[in-house]
Copies of this chain bind each other. A is one copy, B any other.
């Protein structure tokens, strides 16, 4: 657990060992995502995670203190890369609010719903009450930012006359809700009634933009 003090300012390349260690860590996080997604936190076996990462169970404990730590770090590790990407959506200040909102939602569909991350979304809903600090992390880092962005877009739209003025308790949540439900549906009910994310997205955007229109 003690590194941080960078003794390796000398050379760029990681030693063979360090590479392997890093790879193993990533493999373990991938395996954790797979196993936790499949059966949930409580039913997940550390043995399965280990096996899926091509490693023995003892090894998992060289990388993570406990099952709970593994779970939390996995969620954090899989979610944080998204945070940096968000900037890309805000990158075009010449867009109309309408276009921007559409782009924002598109981003969510693409980065979350069409990837492993939708499993994490479900895990947060399923396990959130049992892991308050994880729920808080998710709220503070993902949901809050999403809300703030939507809020800013709405403001722009109202200012430009594209959108009507709305009293907004839960407005952001309502705007994003369709996307969340699409993700859940895909994971839970798709086998009984499949949905196509692309056309679903069109319906979603159509409904919301019309709802906001001045």
Q: Please determine whether A126 and B181 come into contact, CB atoms closer than 8 angstroms.
A: no
Q: Interface digits, A119-141 against B, CB 8 Å rule (1 contact, 0 not)? A: 00010111111101001100110
Tell me which of B126, B132, B182 contacts A173 (CB under 8 A).
B182
Contact A170 B192, CB 8 Å, known A125-B122, A125-B125: no
Q: Which of B39, B125, B166 is within 8 Å of A184, CB to CB?
A: B125
A79 at the interface (CB under 8 A from B): no
Contact B139 A192 (CB under 8 A): yes
| A108 within 8 A of partner (CB) | no
In the bound complex, residues from chain B placing their C-beta under 8 Å from that of A43 are 41-42, 130
* In the complex, A171 has a CB within 8 A of chain B: yes
**How far does the Cβ of A194 sit from chain B's closest Cβ, in whole Å?**
11
Contact of A82 with B by CB under 8 A = no
- Which residues in B have their C-beta under 8 angstroms from that of A161? none
Known contacts A122-B125, A136-B192, A188-B125, A170 near B204 by CB under 8 Å: yes
Q: Min CB distance, A25 to chain B, in Å?
A: 26
The interface residues of chain B lying within 8 Å CB-to-CB of A212 are 207, 210-211
Bound CA–CA A139/B194 (angstroms) = 12
> A181 and B174: CB pair below 8 A?
yes
A180 and B174 alpha carbons, distance in the complex (Å) = 10
Question: Chain B residue with minimal CB distance to A204?
Answer: B174
